[in-house]
Amino acid sequence: MNQPHRSGSNDWPELVYAEWADTAATLHLWTQIIGKIRLTQTPWTNHSWHVPLYLTSRGLATSPIPYAGRTFEIRFDFIDHQLLIETTGGERRTLQLEPRSVADFYHDVMENLNALGLDTRIHTTPSEIPEAIPFEKDTIHHHYDADYANRFWRALVQADRVFKEFRARFIGKCSPVHFFWGSFDLAVSRFSGREAPPHPGGVPNFPDWVAREAYSHEVCSAGFWPGGGGTDFAAFYCYIYPAADGFAESGIQPDAAFWSKELGEFLLPYDAVRTAASPDQVLTEFLQSTYEAAASAAGWDRATLERNFVRESSG
């Protein structure tokens, strides 16, 4: 039997949020622009699964977006630091990722789409950000540290690997592992199959009906974000909706994990994973223990939702 290759601590880059917070804020808004293009052109899928970006071996990408009789794709390349727009007709446009304002980036992207015959209109107010500045007016956010953008992507690559292995253990309804540009995090969500009470909404610049549809069914969601939005450090998280009695008091592994009353979820600092002798094992312990605590507290039918399997050799 083949066993999956495990990473070492040297595979997980150092990611000090305070050192790249301005770049993170700018990049967050750039990904929102690209994500909203996918949102506008893609058929609606439950829980907004039609809007995220996906990890690639060089960055983040939309996957093919339909447009009339053809498709196009937009990709962030965090190795050569470029944004690429490519079509099924063979056309390609390249924009440099470098220090530039959100407004400049927005206008450049839209001009290139128009030049390719991909006329697109998006809602230009950023989502899930209070007091947000419309993209075309934002000259405040203009930072781009190429080294830290690359580090962030490499951290996402490692998290994406472990999340996908964790996802494979579940046979109930489960999201893909995907990057939500609204909240700027990588996430994977498991569902019990039962309906949930209506979500209260109230997320800044995010329609309540979208939040209610996203949380229409009981869910346990795990993910990774680089910092900001309640923490000043990169962290893995897990929460459940609706809240269940006893979840917050559950014993979670590893010891570095803790309950954030402010955020209403368990957190595991990224550094606790990055510096571990076996980062994959430590992160998997967190994902599994938080899920088990959530499913037990909420009374999920675990016997019908889970499986254990071995990866068989193809040779």
pLDDT digits (tens, 9 = 90+) for 137-172: 999 999 999 999 999 999 999 999 999 999 999 999
| Domain range for 154 | 146-305
Q: What is the pLDDT of residue 5?
A: 64
Domain end, chosen from 111, 137, 163, is at 137
Counted domains in the chain: 2
pLDDT at 65 over 90: yes
Residue 54, token pair as written in the block: 């996906």
**End residue of a domain, out of 113, 137, 161:** 137
Model pLDDT, residue 6: 79
Spatial separation of the C-alpha atoms in residues 34 and 135, rounded to whole Å: 11
- Asked whether residue 3 is domain-assigned, the answer is no
The answer to whether residue 150 is domain-embedded is yes
pLDDT tens for each residue of 229-281: 889 999 999 999 999 999 999 999 999 999 999 999 999 999 999 999 999 99
Q: Are 285 and 268 in contact (CB under 8 A)?
A: no
Q: Do 167 and 296 belong to one domain?
A: yes
Residue 314 lies in a domain: no
Nearest-angstrom CA–CA distance, 277 and 283: 12
Q: pLDDT tens-digit profile of 106-149? A: 999 999 999 999 999 999 999 999 999 999 999 999 999 999 99
Other C-beta atoms closer than 10 Å to the C-beta of 139 total 12
Q: Contact, 212 vs 198, CB < 8 A?
A: yes
Q: Choose the final residue of a domain: 88, 118, 137.
A: 137
Question: Do 101 and 80 sit in the same domain of this protein?
Answer: yes
Pair 218, 279 in one domain: yes
User: Quick check: 312 pLDDT over 60?
Assistant: no
Assigned domain for 285 exists: yes
Using 50, 70 and 90 to split pLDDT, how confident is the model at 307?
A: confident
